[in-house]
């Protein structure tokens, strides 16, 4: 039951990301900002809970990556027409999504690292400052500074993930049911990098 809860938390971030453009157009800025902060926080909470309760799985790790990229890309697309400097952040997210996709298709996995976790929060700050500026709450210079930090962290993450991808062996999936592969914690812990 705990694993289901953690996976629902992760999966909800993915589906709620598609609701954000509507919320941006049809809600107050404070509700919109609270929603994006809550969604960014679920990225930390779901991983923490999965490790604490020992319910990690390939489904959770894969959906976490997909949900993160979906959230970031949807939020950035809505902002880039107003703040073109964010194109660099969007491009960085797309390249990281491509690396993760290649890893998945080749039976490998890019490991979560301190670089990736730091990058996630720096991108979140760039996005949040973008919306704060759009709503007239902060100066747009905050976007430039946070964007430079986000892009720098994305470049470091791209290098780190690429090196990991080149070194990693294919995940052992022989004679394993799809339920075991996607949802079994022991299998995940034995086969993750």
Selected residue with higher pLDDT from 170 and 158: 158
d(CA 71, CA 189): 27
Across 118-128, average pLDDT: 96
CA distance linking residue 135 with residue 142, whole number of Å: 13
pLDDT digits (tens, 9 = 90+) for 13-71: 999 999 999 999 999 999 999 999 999 999 889 989 988 999 988 888 889 989 999 99
Residue 110 has pLDDT above 80, yes or no: no
Domain ranges within the chain, ordered by starting residue:
2-191
pLDDT score recorded for residue 57? 87
Q: What is the pTM of this model?
A: 0.87
Confidence of residue 172 (pLDDT cuts 50, 70, 90): low
CA atoms of 168 and 100, how far apart (whole Å): 13
Averaged pLDDT, 131-146: 94
Q: What is the CATH number of domain 2-191?
A: 1.20.120
Find the mean pLDDT for residues 60-85.
Answer: 93
129 closest CA partner among 69, 76, 77: 76
């Amino acid at each position: 039951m705990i694993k289901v809860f953690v996976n629902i938390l992760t999966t909800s971030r993915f589906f709620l990301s598609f609701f954000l453009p509507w919320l941006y157009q049809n809600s107050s800025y404070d509700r919109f900002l609270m929603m994006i902060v809550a969604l960014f926080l679920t990225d930390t909470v779901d991983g923490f809970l999965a490790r604490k309760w020992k319910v990690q799985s390939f489904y959770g790790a894969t959906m976490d990556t997909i949900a993160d990229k979906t959230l970031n890309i949807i939020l950035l697309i809505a902002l880039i027409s107003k703040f073109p400097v964010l194109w660099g952040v969007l491009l960085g997210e797309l390249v990281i999504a491509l690396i993760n996709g290649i890893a998945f298709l080749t039976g490998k996995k890019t490991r979560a690292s301190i670089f990736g976790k730091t990058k996630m929060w720096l991108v979140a700050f760039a996005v949040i400052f973008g919306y704060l500026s759009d709503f007239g709450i902060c100066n747009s210079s905050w976007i430039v500074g946070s964007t430079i930090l986000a892009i720098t962290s994305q470049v470091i993450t791209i290098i780190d993930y690429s090196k990991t991808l080149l070194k990693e062996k294919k995940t052992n999936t022989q004679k394993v049911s799809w339920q075991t592969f996607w949802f079994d914690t022991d299998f995940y812990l034995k086969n993750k990098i």
